[in-house]
A and B are shown apart, each in its own frame.
Chain A
Amino acid sequence: MNNPIYLDNNATTKVAPEVLDEMLPFLKEEYANPSSIYSFAQSIKKNIEQAREKVAQLLNADSSDIVFTSGGTESDNLAIKGIAYANREKGKHIITSSIEHHAVLNTCKYLLKQGFDVTFLPVDKYGIIDLKELKKSIRKDTILVSIMFANNEIGTIEPIEEIGKIVKEKGIYFHTDAVQAAGKIKINVKKLNIDLLSISAHKFHGPKGVGALYVKKSVNFDNLLHGGHQEKGKRAGTENVAGILGLGKACELAIDYLNDQKQQQKIKMLRDKLEKGILEKIPEIIINGHPEKRIDNTLNICIKYIEGESILINLDLEGIYASSGSACTSGSLEPSHVLLALGLPHEIAHGSLRFSLSKYTEEKEIEKVLEILPEIVQKLRNLSPLWKEKKI
Chain B
Amino acid sequence: MKKVIVGLSGGVDSTVAAFLLKKKGYEVLGITLKLWDDASRCCNYEDIMRAKKACFKMGIKHYVLNLKNYFKKEIIDYFIRGYLDGLTPNPCVVCNEKIKFNALFKKMKELNFDFIATGHYAQIKKVKNKFFLSNAIDKNKTQEYFLARIDENILKYIKFPLGKLTKEKVKQIAKENGFFIPDKESQEVCFLKDKETPYKFVEKFVNVEKYKKCSIYNLHGAKLKEIEEPYFKFTIGQRKGMGIGGGIPFYVYKIDAKEKKILVSEEKMLYNNICKIDKIKFFIIPSKNFFRAKVKIRYLHKKADALIKKIDENEAKIIFYKPQFAITPGQLAVIYVKDYIIGSGFIKNID
Contacts and interface: CB of A to CB of B under 8 A. Distances in A.
A317 B111 contact: yes
B111 A330 contact: no
A330 B109 contact: no
Contact of B34 (A332, A379, A380): A332
B114 to A, nearest CB: 15
Contacts of B69: 346
A313 B109 contact: no
A383 B106 contact: yes
A331 B111 contact: no
A265 B32 CA distance: 42
A333 B107 CA distance: 16
A314 interface: yes
A173 B45 CA distance: 38
Interface string A131-150: 00000000000000000000
Contact of B66 (A309, A314, A317, A383): A309
A309 B64 CA distance: 9
Contact of A329 (B32, B45, B66): B45
B106 A333 contact: no
B63 interface: yes
A368 B64 CA distance: 26
Contacts of A380: 110
B125 to A, nearest CB: 28
A310 interface: yes
Contacts, number: 38
B52 interface: yes
Nearest to B46: A330
B36 to A, nearest CB: 11
A314 B34 contact: no
A380 to B, nearest CB: 6
Q: How large is the interface on A (under 10, 10 to 19, 20 to 34, 35 or more residues)?
A: 10 to 19
B337 interface: no
Contacts of B64: 330-333
Contact of A330 (B34, B106, B110): B34
A53 to B, nearest CB: 42
B109 A309 contact: no
B110 A310 contact: yes
A334 interface: yes
A373 B288 CA distance: 52
A332 B109 contact: no
Interface string A316-349: 0100000000000111111000000000001000
Given A331-B48, A331-B52, A314 B111 contact: yes
B269 interface: no
B45 A309 contact: no
Nearest to A350: B69
B66 A332 contact: yes
Contacts of B110: 310, 313-314, 379-380, 383
Contacts of A313: 63, 107, 110-111
A388 to B, nearest CB: 14
B219 interface: no
Contacts of A310: 107, 110
Contacts of A334: 66
Q: How large is the interface on B (under 10, 10 to 19, 20 to 34, 35 or more residues)?
A: 10 to 19
B206 interface: no
Q: Most A CB atoms within 10 A — which of B34, B62, B110?
A: B110
Contacts of B52: 330-331
Contact of A333 (B45, B66, B111): B66
A330 B63 CA distance: 9
Nearest to B44: A330
Interface string A363-385: 00000000000000001100100
Contacts of A332: 34, 48, 64-66
B49 interface: yes
Nearest to B33: A332
Given A313-B111, A314-B111, A383-B110, A330 B65 contact: no
A184 to B, nearest CB: 30
Contacts of B49: 330
Interface in A283-332: 309-310, 313-314, 317, 329-332
A231 B34 CA distance: 43
Interface in B10-50: 32, 34, 45, 48-49
Contacts of A346: 69
Nearest to B48: A330
A383 B113 CA distance: 14
A254 to B, nearest CB: 34
Nearest to B69: A346
Nearest to B63: A313
Contacts of A317: 111
B307 to A, nearest CB: 38
A315 to B, nearest CB: 11
A208 to B, nearest CB: 20
A50 B49 CA distance: 42
A379 B32 CA distance: 23
Contacts of B106: 383
A287 B45 CA distance: 33
A317 B61 CA distance: 10
A331 B32 CA distance: 10
Interface in B68-112: 69, 106-107, 109-111
Nearest to A306: B110
Contacts of B45: 329-330
A384 to B, nearest CB: 9
A346 to B, nearest CB: 7
Contacts of A331: 48, 52, 62-64
A4 to B, nearest CB: 14
A332 B52 CA distance: 12
A346 B45 CA distance: 24
B65 A309 contact: yes
A317 B111 CA distance: 9
A380 B107 CA distance: 10
B69 to A, nearest CB: 7
Contacts of B62: 331
Contacts of A379: 110
B105 to A, nearest CB: 10
Interface of A: 309-310, 313-314, 317, 329-334, 346, 379-380, 383
Given A309-B66, A379-B110, 10 more contacts: A309-B65, A310-B107, A310-B110, A330-B32, A330-B64, A331-B48, A331-B52, A332-B66, A333-B66, A383-B109
23 contacts: A309-B65, A309-B66, A313-B110, A313-B111, A314-B110, A314-B111, A317-B111, A329-B45, A330-B32, A330-B34, A330-B49, A330-B64, A331-B48, A331-B62, A331-B64, A332-B34, A332-B65, A332-B66, A333-B66, A334-B66, A346-B69, A380-B110, A383-B109
